[in-house]
Amino acid sequence: MRRVSEPLERTLVLLKPDAVERALIGTIITRFENVGLKIVGMKMVWVDADFSKKHYSDHVSKPFYKGLESFITAGPVIAMAIEGISSVDLVRKMVGATEPKKAVPGTIRGDYSQHSYEWADKKGIAIKNLIHASDSLENAQKELKLWFAPSELHSYKTVHEVHVF
């Protein structure tokens, strides 16, 4: 049971093109809904190269960036703003390690992919790991501003507030 005294946070989640093309949208969203996390914004976006550079600004100078840009612009993504108690940390735990082969069973990356760095390197592509989640509250706030206009984010009540927390 998560304590209500923990902070209510919003975080950015992206279902990457591999998740969309594998028809895993519903399966992954259900995991967040089941744990009582609330989707307060959602849309389908086909990211272009300029936007990729803004979203992954910390990675632009890294050797894998070219492959990462090709991966994230290869098809539409589902962008979600997810609200909940300590949601930044909780969502990262549910997502699992960056490399799906190392992500433990029970996590989203661990349950739905076996992609490895070795395999990605061999193909010269980014590691296909289905999902992005903000890694800190500060980055969550920055990323939500980049992806959503204030009018695209909503406040409403769910039954989880009564029965799950």
Residue 97 has a CB neighbour count (10 Å cut-off) of 14
The answer to whether residue 132 forms part of the interface with ligand ATP (CB under 6 A) is yes
Among 68, 74, 85, 108, binds ligand ATP (CB under 6 A): 68
Calpha distance 33→30 (Å, rounded): 5
Q: Which is nearer to ligand ATP, 135 or 152 (CB)?
A: 135
Site string for ligand ATP, 7-46 (x = CB under 6 A): ----------------------------------------
* The entry of ligand ATP, Mg ion, none that residue 57 binds, CB within 5 to 8 Å by partner kind: none
What are the residue numbers of the active site?
132
With CB under 5 to 8 Å by kind, the binding choice for 127 among ligand ATP, Mg ion, none is: ligand ATP
CB 97 within 8 A of CB 107: yes
With contacts defined by CB under 6 A, name the span among 26-34, 40-48, 81-89, 128-136 that binds ligand ATP: 128-136
- Burial class, 119, CB count within 10 angstroms (exposed 0-12 / middle 13-18 / buried 19+): middle
Question: Is residue 44 helix, strand or coil?
Answer: strand
Residue 103 in the binding site for ligand ATP (CB under 6 A): no
Alpha carbons 66 and 121: distance in angstroms, whole number? 12
